[in-house]
Amino acid sequence: MQSTLHGLLRDELTRRVTAAGWVVDLACDTEPGSILLGAFRRQVSDNFWAAAQFWLQNWNAAEEVLQVSGTVAVSYFPAYCLWPLLVEAERTELNVDIGELLDPPDPSSEAIIDPMIIECKTARDVPEAAEALVEPVLDLGVAWVQRHANVQVLLDEYRTGGLRFDREIEAVPALLAASGRHSEARSALAGYLASERREVHRREFKRFAFQLDRWLNAGGVVPDAPTEPADAFAFDHDSPTRQDYARQRQARKEAFEAVRENRSGRTREQLREMLKTELAHRGVGESPFAMEVGLDALLAQDSARTTGSCQLRGAPGLLPGRNRG
């Protein structure tokens, strides 16, 4: 029932929002099973877009009711193109709950604002639920985005400490990098890494820092805009067992070893294609980031053997906790 309502509400949201001049955000997955029911964009200036997203708040597929919230966000277009490379998902730079658009909170209050949630229990509820979600976006969303559509304004929002630090440590370097301020992006990233805050030790941030540094070292060319979801915001009710994960790890290890044994004289591009083939042959997938780390390990081993000093501390299989079957 929840899957059916998801599809009905997504279609109704799409009809209403696109009729007002917005476009569907191709970088977001809104299929049933995702926590997103709709994602849309509308350009407000040369490099800034308004983004509207509608989120499922209750994730139990056995429940028959949908509880949905919505946000409006500022999206800096060069960063929109860069985020999937850095975090394998789409991000926005600043967002507001649609409830806050309708009833702005007291700026002096430090109280946590709960999202406005709209319930949809049956197909008959879909039009009313869609109207309640879409109305604040169309009436107030673009004006809110236009007030914040400036890179320096966004940087100041984060640096004044009013927003979550775990978002700041990624948003600030990404904004600086996407806007061409590469040396400032490196300095900001180095400063966060040196802060010793617990947030900078999380695997997600370490991965972000690695990818940003790799991109900057490669010349910092902003990619094209995404045309499909980089990584679905989804949940799987048939989760793999521990044995499934063990089999996947072993298959990845075997694929890596097969490439290692036949790597002599091959370029990185050839090794990448070999690894893809070996993984596909064993029926397992791998994220692009993890594949690049695997290739880094191979090349590091070759370099260490050439110089006579091995600095590699083990080979990936490929990345614990990020592998996908």
Which pLDDT value is given to residue 320?
A: 32
Per-residue tokens: 256: 């890596």
Q: Where are the domains of the chain?
A: 2-217, 244-307
Which pLDDT value is given to residue 217?
A: 94
Read off the DSSP letter of residue 234.
B
Per-residue tokens: 19: 């009729």
Yes or no: say if 87 and 208 are a contact pair by the CB < 8 Å rule: yes
Yes or no: say if 275 and 310 are a contact pair by the CB < 8 Å rule: no
Read off the DSSP letter of residue 126.
H
pLDDT truncated to tens, each residue of the chain (325 aa)? 678 899 999 999 999 999 999 999 999 988 888 889 999 999 999 999 999 999 998 866 556 789 999 999 999 999 999 999 999 888 999 999 999 999 887 666 655 667 899 999 999 999 999 999 999 999 999 999 999 999 999 999 998 876 788 899 999 999 999 999 999 999 999 999 999 899 999 988 999 999 999 999 999 999 999 888 875 333 333 444 445 556 777 787 888 888 888 888 888 888 888 888 888 777 777 666 667 777 777 777 665 544 443 333 333 333 333 333 3
68 sits in which H/E element: strand 66-76
Would you tell me the crossing angle of helices 165-178 and 203-217 to the nearest 10 degrees? 10
CA 27 – CA 9 distance, rounded (Å): 19
